[in-house]
Amino acid sequence: MRDGKLFDKVMEEYGLHVHPEKGQRSPAQQVDHLGLRVDSKRNLFLVPPERLTEVRKMARQVMGAACGNQRRVNARFLAQFAGTCISLLLAVPMGRYHTRAFFDALVRAGVYGMTTAQLRACSAWDRLCVLNKQCFRELKWWCKLGSGTSVGRAVWRPAVTESMATDASMWKWGGVLNAGALRPEELHDMTYWRRRQEVVPAWGIWTEWERSHHIGWLELRAFRRSLEAFGCKVAGKVLLLWEDNTGVVAILTNYTSRSPEMMEELRLTVLLLQSLDIDLRVKYVESAENPSDWYTRFQDKAEWQLLPQLAHSIMHHWGVCTVDRFAGASNALLPRFNAPTPTVGAEAVDCFTVSWEGERSWLNPPWNKMGKVLWKLEQEPGAAAVLLAPCWPTARWWPQLQELAVASLPVEMSARTVLPGAHCPNVAEPLRNPLWRVRAWYIPARK
């Protein structure tokens, strides 16, 4: 009471008046304001219990009305419920994400986007909105609001523990972990950050279906692909994402999008974030300062493969191979494969770091790594392989290949048998030169 009188006296001295039924006149660690609760002890914005009860009740009423009327519900009632949910955003971080389906239903009914005068003129509030399956999923989520970790946003958020940068082009995606944004003095030396051992890269090639989508969708999918590649490294962390697409920054900040296509991809991304227990922050970075940009634009001249039918016929000539050692998710010829970077589905990153013993490997390596491949096979006598190699008798590794191989087959290098890298359609043209001679060599296990 004494604190309340002191408060009233200070307000009176400053010429301010406080409504007798509003505000709080004594010190407290929990304050209710505008329907939300600020808990300074727990450092959280929360929803008061009575508001939680109100929202859950409204969600059950909307669901009941829809179930009793062939999935149709009054537009005004649905809009009121969606507005109540949005009013809790400060304490419910995923509020926009779990109300997007309701606004889509209002759009389909022709209600969303009208002014108040237009709504009254055409009696739009009396229309019925049809709820789809996604609407019912969101209603169930709101019915359980407060039962888990869905309520509570930190007033002061914890410090970032990991950083990631992602980028996408129309052909490839790329991501780097622990790179951050490049400093101005590093912009002219794009290999600087690649030499840093703590930087972990990942990249991949889009499929033909993925390339049919717009760049914003590809940028969002690139983030999900990077999360899948770095999953074990970022799980349970506070992750800062550097993104050079402002649309994706807005989508990942607000967890919503008007585009159904983007919303579908966002839902897959959110499920992955929740499964990895990641606290995500997003910041915009200029494309020139995005370290992952390099991986979406470089041209790897070693990225080519044989027509899968031809490759499998060569494998079966000496028996079925068990693992593709130099591949990616988009061009692997076998279910088991090793990739040069973190890739979903790959058994290992960098095939030289794992044992080849007891396996029959399909090897189509970059030709500048031919000596390292033969050294690996020589060090592991229990490993068998089918190796694609050019006929270069003057190469340093040629005598070693002649010692290890017991048989070979000529390989046709033509436009109908050599598939180039998807991101650079002309990269395999030199391989189709009739002067090139490439053979498949069989190297058996030697013990």
**Tens digit of each residue's pLDDT (9 = 90 or more) over 122-134:** 677 778 899 999 9
The structure tokens listed for 316 are 């079966």
Q: Which residues contact 53 (CB under 8 A, 6 or more apart)?
A: none
H or E element at residue 52: helix 49-67
- According to DSSP, the residues that pair with 39 across neighbouring strands are 30, 44
312 near 323, Cβ under 8 Å?
no
- pLDDT of residue 230 exceeding 70, the answer is yes
The reported pLDDT for the residue numbered 229 is 86
Distance CA 390, CA 380 (A): 23
Distance in angstroms (rounded) separating the CA atoms of residues 345 and 348: 9
Per-residue confidence (pLDDT) for residue 185, from 0 to 100: 47
The CB-based long-range contact list for 427-430 (8 Å cut-off, 24+ gap) reads: 427/299, 427/300, 427/301, 427/303, 427/304, 428/304
Sequence-distant (≥ 6) Cβ neighbours of residue 407 within 8 angstroms: 318, 441, 442
Percentage of the chain with pLDDT > 90?
38
Cα–Cα dist 309/316, whole Å: 11
* Nearest residue to 138 (alpha-carbon basis) of 55, 248, 70: 55
Please count the CA atoms within 13 angstroms of the CA of 167 that sit on its side-chain side: 23
Mean pLDDT, all residues of the chain: 82
For 127, phi and psi rounded to 5 degrees? -70, 160
**What proportions of the chain, in percent to the nearest 5, are helix, strand and coil?**
40, 20, 40
In sequence order, which residues have a C-beta less than 8 Å from that of residue 274 and are 6 or more positions away?
A: none
Q: pLDDT tens digits for 168-208?
A: 988 788 888 876 544 444 444 445 444 444 567 787 778 77
Element (H, E) at 74: strand 72-74
- Residues in CB range of 38: below 8 A, 6 or more apart: 30, 31, 32, 45, 46, 155
Residue 198 has a pLDDT of 53
- Asked whether 289 and 182 are in contact (CB, 8 A), the reply is yes
